[in-house]
Amino acid sequence: MKFLLGLLLTVMAYTISNAKPITATVVFENLTEETTINGIFYIKQTNQQFDVTTLESFQINLPNKGSYEFQFHSEIVSAYTYYPSKITEKKDTITIRLEKKSQARITPVSVQTKGIAELSNEELKQHIAAGTVNFIVHGLVAIPPDTYQAFKKEYGIGFISENCALNPQTYKTTQANNKVLAAYLTSEFGEVWKSKLPAQPFGIRR
């Protein structure tokens, strides 16, 4: 009985210690010529968004130590976010690396991409060979250039990133675009291409 009581108290103490709020620091690694920034910092687990208008470090308060997913999005630069797999008192720094858009931009959308569902199979193959079709990704996504370039080199299909807002027409067009490309890749290569995706196209499951 005493053993069970002691074990219960230990578990309760551990739970309380883990539930203690924790403060993390966000720092910028600026590889651009920008002297200011305008972007959004997002915490997935708490569904919080913060407007960021300076390159100075800032702090965020988290409910407790643990695993979190952080993202940063800006229209003027490409951003890559690095952080520990688990935020603790000793590992509490989130680094946002900023690069010029021209160095890490996703292939621009072509005229054909929006109407890709209307192409014949032969026309689709021609556009893929020409490198003018893209999967569409929605949300605060930064795709490292080497990963999407490797995918495009192997399969002929690039990626474009669009904003988080989805109206009914955008939803329909995006899903149709991605499903046509996914069906083509599956017919040509089986399911193996899904394991090489650098980002998750909207409406496609791995």
Which run of H or of E encompasses 15?
A: helix 2-18
Do 13 and 87 share a domain, yes or no?
yes
Confirm whether 201 is domain-assigned. Answer: no
Mean residue pLDDT of the chain comes to 79
Domain's final residue, options 71, 100, 129: 100
Confirm whether 67 is domain-assigned. Answer: yes
For the chain, give the number of residues: 206
Those residues whose C-beta lies under 8 Å from the C-beta of residue 61, and which sit 6 or more positions away, are 21, 22, 23
Report how far residue 134's alpha carbon sits from residue 51's, in angstroms, rounded to the nearest whole number: 30
Instruction: Give the number of other Cβ atoms within 10 Å of residue 113's Cβ.
Output: 20
Instruction: Write the pLDDT tens digit of every residue in 2-21.
Output: 555 555 555 455 544 556 89
Do 111 and 93 share a domain, yes or no?
no
Number of domains in the chain: 2
- Kindly report the CATH number assigned to the domain that includes residue 71: 2.60.40
Tokens of 129: 């060979």
Confidence of residue 110 (pLDDT cuts 50, 70, 90): very low
- The domain in which residue 170 lies consists of 106-196
Q: Among the listed ranges 59-63, 74-78, 138-142, which one has the minimum average pLDDT value?
A: 138-142
Confirm whether 114 is domain-assigned. Answer: yes
Q: Among the listed ranges 2-16, 121-135, 148-162, which one has the minimum average pLDDT value?
A: 2-16
Instruction: Write the pLDDT tens digit of every residue in 79-101.
Output: 888 888 889 999 999 999 898 87
Confirm whether 43 is domain-assigned. Answer: yes
